[in-house]
């Protein structure tokens, strides 16, 4: 994978992984005035706001999860609150509980490793 496309490729891999494990993708790259959410999906009774962090083997100073700063978490939470407010009827009707997940995708020349962290952080 080329470095310039690493994030885009990581999000594609994340989407494929989520779909293969039973998630239903609702939105990709959802943008609000507060920030962006990489993937919004449903899984069982959860509405999952997924942050995707892709790393190459040559760029592994911190894990994907460790690279989500408290400020980034707050932007994701604010964007999720905006999504919930603008989609309240559908979310309420489906009875979905919000959840914040992180997907770490580590790529090297010969291998791709995907790690899903459910409930990576929560509303404060």
Residue 22 belongs to domain with CATH number: 3.40.1350.10
Would you say residue 70 has pLDDT above 70? Answer: yes
Number of domains in the chain: 1
pTM value? 0.87
Query: How many angstroms separate the CA atoms of 92 and 31, rounded?
Result: 21
pLDDT, one tens digit per residue, over 22-62 is 999 999 999 999 999 999 999 989 999 999 988 887 656 66
Range of the domain at 30: 3-121
State the Cα torsion 83-122-54-70 to the nearest 10°: 100
Supply the pLDDT for residue 94. 84
């Amino acid at each position: 994978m080329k470095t310039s496309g690493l994030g885009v490729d990581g999000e594609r891999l994340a989407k494929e992984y989520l779909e293969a494990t039973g998630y239903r993708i609702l939105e990709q790259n959802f943008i609000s005035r507060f920030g962006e959410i990489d993937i919004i999906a449903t899984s069982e009774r959860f509405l999952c706001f997924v942050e995707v962090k892709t790393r190459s083997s040559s760029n592994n100073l911190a894990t994907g999860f460790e690279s989500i700063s408290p400020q980034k978490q707050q932007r994701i939470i604010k964007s999720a609150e905006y999504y919930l407010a603008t989609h309240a009827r559908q979310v309420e009707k489906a009875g979905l509980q919000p959840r914040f997940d992180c997907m770490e995708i580590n790529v090297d020349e010969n291998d791709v490793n995907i790690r899903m962290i459910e409930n990576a952080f929560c509303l404060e």
